[in-house]
């Protein structure tokens, strides 16, 4: 049983030395437990926050020496739980390891899903995040301009495609020419900008001649600086994440620009609302699943997975994700399906 444990807390961007691969025994399930074999592990930006001493409000920090936490698609290999049978494939949170025990809490059977890894991406949490944030907070209207960064990633690619289905004009922001091409040609975005191409703020302004009505915030940093002056009166800003700041050790140096934000919020009646997707499963998940499965089946939404082979490659893939080296939803194949 291999497991990737947190060896040391990162200072800034994680390095391979922050992780350690350990070998151990495959655990034996007790009464009421199941033994899970990890098939696929999801890598997600929030995991960076779990590596800090104090975790985010919605999840505990990973303790030193413990396996990194994470969503998985797993197979039940042995069951001593009345609700699960051996052989079943389930959505679970087994973390960065080959095997894990579970008392059944939070396990969701996936039935005979054709491509179960999609339960971690285009048919699961990241897509659900896009759905709730965009439709419930962003509320794009036909003809409005929607801007999203990390626009070919797990969440952003869904935000842009759902906004297109709602009749909005979509401008994506990405890192790299191949991603620009994909967003325009495959995802059908109206425009897409490379965030590394200067002068970025001027190019964003030119790409949004009617201003910005919805900015789906995935990144923060220089992208948000360029977006803020372009927001229209009545703009909505679902605040989903700020990946540009996840490695920050401190508040960035420089003049205090908070008044710029708060003044713009008043004058332009801007709605900014943070959300954590865990809060919405009880109320919105069924509707999401119905809509998304139909959109994918009808070819209206495209899914792109960035497949990594082998648990031992999870650390480097995770470090790459934080730097934009991924292209689509990052899923690690850990075991044979
Ligand atoms: P992605 O698949 O989009 O991967 C992350 C991407 O972020 C990278 O590929 C890169 O894209 C971009 N990025 C990295 N650093 C920067 C930077 N400094 N400036 C701008 N962009 C950067 O990840 P996810 O779709 O899984 O996550 C997207 C966001 O959604 C994250 O902020 C995440 O924390 C958040 N999230 C929030 C949830 C919630 O409940 N609130 C749930 C799930 C995700 P590129 O190089 O192409 O620009």
Nearest atom in ligand 1 to the alpha carbon of residue 152 is 47
Domain boundaries in the chain?
Answer: 2-117+303-333, 125-277
Q: Grade residue 21 by pLDDT with cuts at 50, 70 and 90.
A: very high
257, pLDDT greater than 90: yes
Structure tokens at 321: 């994700």
Residue 1 CA, ligand 1 centroid: distance in Å? 30
Q: Grade residue 256 by pLDDT with cuts at 50, 70 and 90.
A: very high
Residue 87 CA, ligand 1 centroid: distance in Å? 34
Q: Grade residue 222 by pLDDT with cuts at 50, 70 and 90.
A: very high
Closest to 93 (Cα-Cα) out of 38, 44, 23, 27: 38
Q: How far apart are CA 78 and CA 85, in angstroms?
A: 7
Q: Residue whose CA is closest, atom 35 of ligand 1?
A: 241
pLDDT in tens, 45-77: 999 999 999 999 999 999 999 999 999 999 999
191 contacts 184 by C-beta, under 8 angstroms: yes
With a 6 Å cutoff on the Cβ, whether 156 touches ligand 1 is yes
With a 6 Å cutoff on the Cβ, whether 171 touches ligand 1 is no
Q: Grade residue 337 by pLDDT with cuts at 50, 70 and 90.
A: confident
Residue 40 CA, ligand 1 centroid: distance in Å? 20
Same fold, 2-117+303-333 and 125-277: no
Name every residue whose Cβ is closer than 8 Å to that of residue 66 and which is 6 or more positions away in sequence.
Answer: 5, 6
If you average pLDDT over every residue of the chain, what do you get? Answer: 97
Report the CATH fold assignment for 125-277.
Rossmann fold (3.40.50)
Q: How far apart are CA 88 and CA 75, in angstroms?
A: 6
85, pLDDT greater than 90: yes
Q: Grade residue 86 by pLDDT with cuts at 50, 70 and 90.
A: very high
With a 6 Å cutoff on the Cβ, whether 303 touches ligand 1 is no
Residue 147 CA, ligand 1 centroid: distance in Å? 14
Q: What pLDDT score was predicted for residue 3?
A: 98
Q: How far apart are CA 333 and CA 257, in angstroms?
A: 43
Average pLDDT over residues 228-247: 98
Q: How far apart are CA 304 and CA 178, in angstroms?
A: 14
pLDDT in tens, 95-142: 999 999 999 999 999 999 999 999 999 999 999 999 999 999 999 999
CATH numeric code, 2-117+303-333:
3.90.180.10
Residue 336 CA, ligand 1 centroid: distance in Å? 28
pLDDT in tens, 286-302: 999 999 999 999 999 99
Distances (CA, A) of 174 to 25, 200, 223, 323: 43, 11, 10, 12
Q: What pLDDT score was predicted for residue 252?
A: 85
pTM: 0.98
Structure tokens at 172: 């994506």
Ligand 1 binding pocket mutation candidate from 124, 138, 155 (most atoms within 8 A of CB)? 155
- Which SS3 state, helix, strand or coil, does residue 77 take? strand
Residue 76 CA, ligand 1 centroid: distance in Å? 31
Q: How far apart are CA 150 and CA 132, in angstroms?
A: 17
Cα Rg of the chain (Å, integer)? 20
């Amino acid at each position: 049983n291999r497991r990737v444990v947190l060896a040391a807390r990162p200072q800034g961007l994680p390095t391979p030395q922050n992780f350690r691969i350990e070998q151990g025994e495959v655990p034996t399930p007790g009464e009421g437990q199941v033994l899970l074999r990890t098939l696929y592990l999801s890598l997600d930006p929030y995991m960076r926050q779990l590596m800090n001493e104090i975790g985010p409000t919605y999840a505990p920090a990973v303790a030193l020496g413990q396996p990194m936490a994470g969503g998985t698609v797993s197979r039940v290999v042995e069951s001593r739980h009345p609700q699960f049978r051996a052989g079943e494939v389930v959505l679970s949170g087994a973390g960065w390891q080959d095997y894990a025990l579970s008392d059944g809490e939070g396990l969701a059977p996936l039935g005979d899903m054709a491509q179960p890894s999609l339960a971690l991406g285009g048919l699961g949490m990241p897509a659900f995040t896009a759905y709730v944030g965009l439709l419930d907070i962003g509320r794009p209207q036909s003809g409005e301009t929607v801007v999203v960064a990390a626009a070919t990633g797990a969440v952003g690619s869904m935000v842009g495609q759902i906004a297109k289905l709602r009749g909005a004009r979509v401008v994506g922001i990405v890192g790299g020419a191949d991603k620009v091409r994909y967003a325009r040609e495959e995802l059908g975005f109206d425009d897409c900008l490379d965030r590394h191409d200067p002068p970025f703020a001027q190019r964003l302004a030119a790409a949004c001649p009617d201003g910005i009505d919805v900015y789906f915030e995935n990144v923060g940093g220089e992208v948000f600086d360029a977006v803020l002056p372009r927001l229209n009166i009545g703009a909505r800003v679902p605040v989903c994440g700020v990946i540009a700041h996840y490695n920050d050790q401190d508040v960035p140096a420089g003049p205090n620009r908070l008044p710029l934000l708060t003044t713009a919020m008043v004058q332009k009646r801007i709605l900014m609302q943070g959300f954590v997707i865990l809060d919405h499963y009880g109320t919105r998940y069924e509707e999401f699943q119905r809509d998304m499965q139909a959109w994918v089946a009808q070819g209206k939404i495209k899914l792109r997975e960035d497949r990594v082979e082998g648990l031992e490659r999870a650390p480097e893939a995770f470090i790459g994700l934080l730097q934009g080296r991924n292209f689509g939803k990052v899923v690690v194949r850990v075991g044979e399906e």
